[in-house]
Amino acid sequence: MGLFDRVRQAFAGNAGAQAQAQQLAADAMRQAGYTDGTIPSAADFQGSLGARMAADQSTVQAYGDEIRRITAVGTRGTSVITSSIPTGEQTVGNLWYQLEVQVTLAGQAPYTVTKRELLPQVALAQYAEGTLHDVAVDPADPQKIAFTS
């Protein structure tokens, strides 16, 4: 059997792998909240679905940029999450939560910050009420914090 025969045979036997890959893609689109589990068409991507995905990407990028900025310039402190309430909003399959956080900086009295946080399902327990976190606090606005642990 020559090289091209093996290649042809490999591609001929990939129908199951292709179906599995398509199912994984459909599941990912459903979990992200973009579809009901069906594979979108090219027209869907060019229309409102594509616009929604681009908007979500911009939201996540801006969110990450702000966290990195605060982490880079922030004063280090500690915190305790005192309240965690889902907002009902979702971006790329992750839920937004309204958190109340008690922040403590060295030499200062603790104070409360209300923070909107994007949390993946796998991290929800890490951000439950009563959990402790290191934080960075924006020196220009102490109401802006980033979790660093």
Residues 30 and 88 in one domain: no
Q: How far is residue 40's CA from residue 37's CA, in Å, rounded to a whole number?
A: 9
Angle, alpha carbons 35-98-72 (nearest 5°): 100
Kindly tell me if the per-residue pLDDT of 109 is higher than 90.
yes
Is residue 11 included in any domain, yes or no?
Answer: yes
pLDDT at 143: 98
Structure token digits, residue 64? 């990450």
**How confident is the model over 16-60, as pLDDT tens digits?**
777 777 777 777 777 777 777 777 777 777 778 888 888 889 999
SS3 content of the chain, % helix, strand, coil (to 5): 45, 30, 25
pLDDT at 81: 98
Kindly tell me if the per-residue pLDDT of 7 is higher than 60.
no
Residues 30 and 79 in one domain: no
Kindly tell me if the per-residue pLDDT of 1 is higher than 60.
no
| DSSP-assigned letter for residue 82 | E
113 near 143, Cβ under 8 Å?
A: yes
pLDDT at 67: 98
Is residue 54 included in any domain, yes or no?
Answer: no
Q: Which amino acid is at 2?
A: G
Q: How far is CA 106 from the centre of its chain?
A: 31
**How confident is the model over 49-107, as pLDDT tens digits?**
888 888 889 999 999 999 999 999 999 999 999 999 999 999 988 999 999 999 999 99
Is residue 56 included in any domain, yes or no?
Answer: no
Residues 79 and 139 in one domain: yes
Residues 28 and 79 in one domain: no
Rounded mean pLDDT, 5-9: 60
pLDDT at 49: 80
Residues 34 and 79 in one domain: no
Structure token digits, residue 129? 């009420």
Residues 25 and 80 in one domain: no
Kindly tell me if the per-residue pLDDT of 3 is higher than 90.
no
**pTM for the full model?**
0.74
Q: How far is residue 47's CA from residue 39's CA, in Å, rounded to a whole number?
A: 14
Is residue 90 included in any domain, yes or no?
Answer: yes
86 near 97, Cβ under 8 Å?
A: yes
pLDDT at 85: 96
Is residue 89 included in any domain, yes or no?
Answer: yes
Question: What is the domain extent for residue 109?
Answer: 75-147
Residues 82 and 128 in one domain: yes
Q: Under DSSP, is residue 86 helix (H, G, I), strand (E, B) or coil? A: strand
Residues 81 and 126 in one domain: yes
Is residue 134 included in any domain, yes or no?
Answer: yes
Is residue 70 included in any domain, yes or no?
Answer: no
Is residue 46 included in any domain, yes or no?
Answer: no
Number of domains in the chain: 2
